[in-house]
Amino acid sequence: MAKRTLFGAVATLLVIAAAYANFFVAPTERTMGLIQRIFYFHAATAWAGEMVFFLCFVANLLYIWKRRDQYDWLGVACAEVGLACITIVLITGPIWAHPVWGIWWTWDARLTSTFVLWLLYVSYLLLRTLIEEPGRRALLSALFGVFAFLDVPLVFFSIRWWRTQHPAPVIMGGSGSGLDPIMSKVFFFNVFVMHLFAAFLIVERYILEKLRHDVDVLQREAGAQ
């Protein structure tokens, strides 16, 4: 418990440090101005969300292979945390887009595939509420989770494969892409902080799922007597 509290406190302090860096360390971008500062939070949260969905995918595969409850708990923990990240991405993106593009939303490849990703993981969580039997629920949601993850590479490569309204990648985008060195440092600091914060949330959510399992076991014991 003390270790988890310390983890949470460190993650929260780093979040505050990242916010400070976004507003006071990173230089103001020449053409977009102040609104570009959303990028550090928006893109770092998107990267963390995609990494969390990858972890969910690994947990789902491991559940299908080993059939251990712990992998099911990790899968659902990652699905919820990843969904929170992608929800933020889908809200902060349009807030940035409106002053820059003049529109809140457009159905281009990046935005559409991200929205589909959000729908897929909402479906993953809804599916779990529809199945009573724990083993069947874990297996079917793991199978669905593997299918849902197929959209993550599509989201990542959409701005590389197709011409989109969404900006081309500034990181790993090939020649002509790149960030100012200070902007780059601030961005990667945000990426680190968001991954750490996501890890903290996954730990907390995993413990919740374990407790739910303990309640099920106790209820069965109580029912048997």
Partner 1 sequence: MKNLESVFAAYIIGWGIFFVFFLSIVKRTSALRSEIERLKNSLPRQ
CB of 109 closer than 8 Å to CB of 159: yes
Nearest to 65 by CA among 127, 146, 152: 146
Paired with 128 in beta bridges are: none
Indicate whether 64 belongs to the interface with partner 1 (CB under 8 A).
no
HSE-CB for 132 with a 13 A CA cutoff = 0
Q: Based on the number of CB atoms within 10 Å of its own CB, is 65 exposed (0-12), middle (13-18) or buried (19 or more)? A: exposed
Site membership for partner 1, residue 122 (CB under 8 A):
no
Q: Is 2 in the site for partner 1 (CB under 8 A)?
A: no
| Minimum CB–partner distance for residue 197 and partner 1 (Å) | 7
CB of 65 to partner 1, least distance (A): 28
Give the rounded distance of the alpha carbon of 203 from its chain centre: 14
Least Å from the CB of residue 219 to partner 1: 6
From residue 11 to residue 30, what is the string marking binding to partner 1 with x (rule CB under 8 A)? ----x---x-----------
Q: Does 130 bind partner 1 (CB under 8 A)?
A: no
Residue 194: closest CA among 77, 67, 41, 88:
41
At 71, phi and psi to the nearest 5?
A: -70, -35
Distance CA 60, CA 80 (A): 14
Residues 6+ apart with CB under 8 A from 39: 96, 187
Q: What is the sign, positive or negative, of the torsion defined by CA atoms of 213, 219, 222, 225?
A: negative
- 6 forms part of the interface with partner 1 (CB under 8 A): no
State in angstroms the smallest separation of the CB of 195 from partner 1. 13
29 pairs with which residues across the strands? 33
Q: Is residue 112 at the binding interface for partner 1, with CB under 8 A as the rule?
A: no
Using CB under 8 A as the binding rule, whether residue 128 contacts partner 1 is answered as: no
User: By rule CB under 8 A, what string of x and - marks binding of each residue 174-213 to partner 1?
Assistant: -----------------------x---x--xx-xx--xx-
* Residue 15 beta carbon to partner 1: minimum distance, rounded to whole angstroms: 8
By CB under 8 A, the residues from 67 to 106 that bind partner 1 are 80-81, 84, 87-88, 91-92, 95-96, 98-99
Q: Which residues are near partner 1 by CB under 8 A?
A: 15, 19, 33-35, 37-38, 41-42, 45, 80-81, 84, 87-88, 91-92, 95-96, 98-99, 197, 201, 204-205, 207-208, 211-212, 214-215, 218-219, 221-222, 225
